Amino acid sequence: MVLLELMRRAAPVLNLEIGVIHVDHGLRGSASRADARFVQDTCQALGIPFFLYELHMAPDSSNLEEEARTRRYEAVHTCMTEKGYRLAATGHTTDDQAETILYRMIRGSGIRGIAGMDFVSRSGIIRPLLSRTREQIRSFADENRIVYVNDQTNADTSRPRNLIRHEILPLMEKINPRVAQSLFRLSEIAREESLVMDTQSTSLMKAAAVFDWGIVKAYRGDLFLKAPDAVLRRCIIMIVSSMLDDTRGIDARQVEQIYAVVTGVCRAHTLKRRLRVFSQNSLVVFQETGKEPYYRIPTPVSGTYGIEHIRKALRIEGIPGAEDSMIVRSVLPGDRFRHTRVCELLRKAGVASPLRPFWPVVLRADRIIAVADITAESPYSVVFSDYE
């Protein structure tokens, strides 16, 4: 509510159009519905658009806090897209940052995790109050007679973050009453050092890259092994984070499992059932897993079509018109073209084996009529072009 008041005051000065999203997780029954009505009534009184997203979550989730956070941010980004907002502001404070850092330290996070929450994230989340303490926020609310409600679940110390808030941080304050500010400074130092690591890891990633098809990437294992361990581990985090579309990265245990693949201790590892990492012929390959085909795109008869999944475009020419449209999809096990297995055609053409499951084929009436870039066997022209 303090954030809303400050944004409301800033709006005419900064030429902002503001709205309010309220996320009801559905875990507190009538209490959460009452909170939603409180926010809605406040917004109506101020003439500010109000958007309610109800998640209907089950309270028996194995990792309730993490699932609630994930779905809450999904709702925020959905609202931004649907309603046309470029940024979303949250009310996180210095105390929230301290709790986040301690939570990540306890879970075994590295320096990237200790950097904590950003003032401005790449996904459009901004945190204007991050350098202010919770006590400062309360004082501002009292001085300005800002009415607010308390979520009673914040007192439940069976939840890890509440335990940190109500028991662990107060113990630490007996040693240093300004422990929250100290942890905030630690996050700033970690963020600066993390940026240096990101720069070095990006350089390593570019130098070692053999191919990058979005859902499958390969890197030179020898260059990975020559890199300092800290840079290599950060490189692993960056690759996996981009492929899983998770800006927070992965935990230390998962990093070590992939590191073991890179260094030859084990041959393969599957992460979250979504990403497989394996070594093959001096390459380290990262590829998404899932139900095949990995993509399936209906197309008109001819033209150039982007395949976002593999960051490629296909230029299709010379195929005569017909009433039935074509399908471009990835290769499936057992696919044949003119009595020859497609995988064998790709092998003879020198296509790296990690790429073969993602290679495009063109079908009409459930029959493969062309294989991308394999022109010798087909009367049609189906070749890769630049993807935009």
Q: Which residue has the tokens 């579309």?
A: 245
Q: What pLDDT does residue 77 have?
A: 95
Mapped to the 3 state alphabet, what secondary structure does 186-246 carry? HHHHHHHHHHHHHHHHHHHHHHHEEEECCCEEEEEHHHHHHCCHHHHHHHHHHHHHHHHCC
Other residues' Cβ atoms within 10 Å of the Cβ of residue 89:
20
Crossing angle (nearest 10°) for helices 2-14 and 30-46: 30
Q: How far apart are CA 207 and CA 218, in angstroms?
A: 12
User: What is 253-270 written as a DSSP string?
Assistant: HHHHHHHHHHTTSSSEEE
Between the two ends of the chain, the Cα-to-Cα distance in Å is 43
Q: Hey, where are the domains in the chain?
A: 2-181, 208-288, 296-385
Q: Which residue has the tokens 């996180």?
A: 92
**pLDDT digits 0-9 by tens, 355-378:** 999 999 988 888 888 898 886 555
- Are the beta carbons of 381 and 316 closer than 8 angstroms? yes
Q: What pLDDT does residue 386 have?
A: 65
Q: Which residue has the tokens 């502001």?
A: 89
Q: How far apart are CA 101 and CA 232, in angstroms?
A: 23
Q: What pLDDT does residue 152 have?
A: 81
**pLDDT digits 0-9 by tens, 57-77:** 887 766 788 888 889 999 999
What type of residue sits at position 153?
T
Burial zone of 367 (CB within 10 Å; 0-12 exposed, 13-18 middle, 19+ buried):
exposed
- Are the beta carbons of 48 and 18 closer than 8 angstroms? yes
Residue 110 has pLDDT above 70, yes or no: yes
Q: How confident is the model at residue 246 (pLDDT cuts 50, 70, 90)?
A: confident
| pTM for this model (two decimals) | 0.74
**CATH 3.40.50.620 fits domain 2-181:** yes
- Return the DSSP state at 164: I
Average pLDDT on 230-253 reads 85
Q: What are residue 135's phi and psi, to 5 degrees?
A: -65, -40
384 vs 211, higher pLDDT: 211
Average pLDDT on 292-315 reads 85
Q: How far apart are CA 58 and CA 281, in angstroms?
A: 46
Residue 378 contacts by C-beta under 8 Å, 6 or more apart in sequence?
A: 337, 369, 370, 371
Q: How confident is the model at residue 235 (pLDDT cuts 50, 70, 90)?
A: very high
Identify the weakest region by mean pLDDT among 73-82, 194-203, 238-247.
Answer: 238-247
- Are the beta carbons of 134 and 140 closer than 8 angstroms? no
Q: Which fold has domain 208-288?
A: 3.30.465
Residue 171 has pLDDT above 70, yes or no: yes
Of 327, 320, 321, 387, the residue nearest 360 (C-alpha): 327
Residue 219 has pLDDT above 70, yes or no: yes
- Return the DSSP state at 68: H
Identify the weakest region by mean pLDDT among 125-134, 152-161, 326-335.
Answer: 152-161
Q: Which residue has the tokens 């609310």?
A: 141
What type of residue sits at position 251?
D
What's the token pair of residue 18?
Answer: 């503001």
Q: How many residues does the chain have?
A: 388
